[in-house]
Chain A
C-alpha cells in the first residue's frame, strides 16, 4: 500500500482548498458548457490543470512542511507559485473560460465587480507590473521581513498568496493571447522588454545569496531544519534556485513571445495598409 500521507496538507488552509476547488470546478463547468469551437484543446487543458495542481501541491501537501524548514525548498516553492505554475496557467490560454463566465455574470454583479476591474487595469500597467513582480521577490526575501514571514502564520500565508496572485497577473500580461495589433493587449516588444528587465534583478539577488559568505537567512537555523543539511549548502541551493531557473523562464518566455510575434508579422500587414479602420474585424 503506497503512503499517501505526503498528500495531506501540513498547514491545513480551508480557504486555499476552497479557492483551488472553485477554480477547477469553474474551469471544468465552463469546458462542459461552452460552445464547441471556443473550447480549448486537450493539451491546453492538461497544461492548465498541471499549473493549478503544481501550485496546490506546494501549498497544501507535505511539500509545504519542507518549505517552512528548508530555505532551498522554500525557494522551490516560490519558483512554482510565482513562476512555473502561473506561467503554465497563463500559457494554457484560459481566455475562453473567462469569456464564458463573464457572459454569465448579471449586469448588477458586473457593476459590483467593477472596482476589481479598475485595480486590475492599474496593476497591469507594464511598468507597475514589472516593478511588482521583482519588488515582491525582494520584499519577501529582505532578511528581516523574511524572518518575520517564516515565524508568523498569517504573514506566511500572505506571502505565498501574494506571490501566486502576482505571478498570475504578470504571466497573464506576458502571455495574453489577444493580438496587440487588433486589441489593446500589450505589444510584443514591451512584453519582451519586461521579461528581460525582470530577469536582471532576479539574477543579481540569486547571485548575491549564492556568494554570501555569512548566513543571510538564519531563521532556518533558529527554527530547526527538516533534516540535518549544512546551512551553507541550503543557502547555496536556495540562491541557485533564485538565480538560474527564473532567468531561464524569462528566456523561454521571450522565445514564446517572439515566436508569436513572428507568426503574426505578415498576417495583419495587408489589412492594415488597406484599411486601418477595419483592423478590428480580425479580432475574432
Chain B
C-alpha cells in the first residue's frame, strides 16, 4: 500500500512536469526531469576517449545513427545543420552535435571523421564498444538492433529517430521528434541558448 501512495505521489510529480512543459511552449518535446543528465565515455574520431566535459558549456544535440544510414541520419543531420545556421551568429558556436554511431563494426574513427565533416565543424563523431553503446542507449531509454547482412555484407541498423537536446549544464531538456521544420528546431535552440 505504501508503494501505492509513493506511486501516486510520483504520478502527481510526473503530471506537474508535464504541465510546466506545455506552459513553456517548445516545438520539441520537453523532457526536463524525465531523463538523467548527459553522461558518457566514448571514443572520438581521433581514437581518443571523450566525455561530456569536452563540450561543457555548450548545448549538446545527441543523436544515434550510423554512417551507412540511407536516409534518416543524413536528413536529420542536415536539418540540424540548417537550423543552427539560422541562429544569430553569437549562438552558432554554442551548439555541439554529438553523432553517436551504434554500428562500431563498420564505423571506424576515420570513416566517422569523414562522415561528420560533411555536416559541419560542430559535429563530433563518437562510437564505442557495443556494451558501452548499449549502456548509453539504455540510459536514454532507446535501443538499436541489426538486420541480417545481405549477400554483399550490408545490413540495416534500427536506431532512435529523435535528437536529445541537453542544455549548457548537461541537463536533458528536449526531444526533437522527426517532422519538425528547421525553423522550429532553430527557435527551440535559440530559446535554449539564450538561457543564462
Contacts and interface: CB of A to CB of B under 8 A. Distances in A.
Interface of A: 11, 65, 68-69, 116, 119-120, 123, 139, 144-145, 147-156, 158, 161-162, 165-166, 218, 221-228
Given A162-B11, A223-B143, A228 B161 contact: no
A119 B5 contact: yes
B158 A225 contact: yes
A225 B141 CA distance: 11
Contacts of B3: 161, 165
Interface in B28-46: 29, 31, 33-36
A101 to B, nearest CB: 15
Q: Which residue among A123, A139, A223 has the maximum number of chain B CB atoms within 10 Å of its CB?
A: A223
Nearest to A164: B3
Contacts of B175: 151, 222
Interface residues of B, number: 38
Interface of B: 1-8, 10-11, 14-15, 17-18, 29, 31, 33-36, 64, 137-138, 141-145, 147, 156, 158-162, 175, 177-178
B10 A155 contact: yes
Contacts of B177: 218, 222
Nearest to B17: A148
A-B pairs, 4 with minimum CB distance: A152-B34, A223-B142, A222-B162, A162-B7
A156 B7 CA distance: 11
B145 A224 contact: yes
A222 B34 contact: no
A145 B15 CA distance: 8
Given A152-B14, A218-B177, A228 B4 contact: no
Contacts of A158: 6-7, 10-11, 14
A156 B160 CA distance: 18
A91 B76 CA distance: 52
A190 B6 CA distance: 30
A263 B29 CA distance: 56
B35 A148 contact: no
B14 A228 contact: no
B18 A223 contact: no
B30 to A, nearest CB: 10
A228 B141 contact: no
A46 B178 CA distance: 49
Contacts of B156: 228
Given A148-B14, A151-B141, A224 B158 contact: yes
Contacts of B64: 224
B161 A221 contact: yes
A224 B161 contact: yes
Contacts of A123: 4
Contacts of A156: 141
A65 B161 CA distance: 18
Contact of A227 (B138, B142, B145): B145
A226 B134 CA distance: 12
A155 B15 CA distance: 10
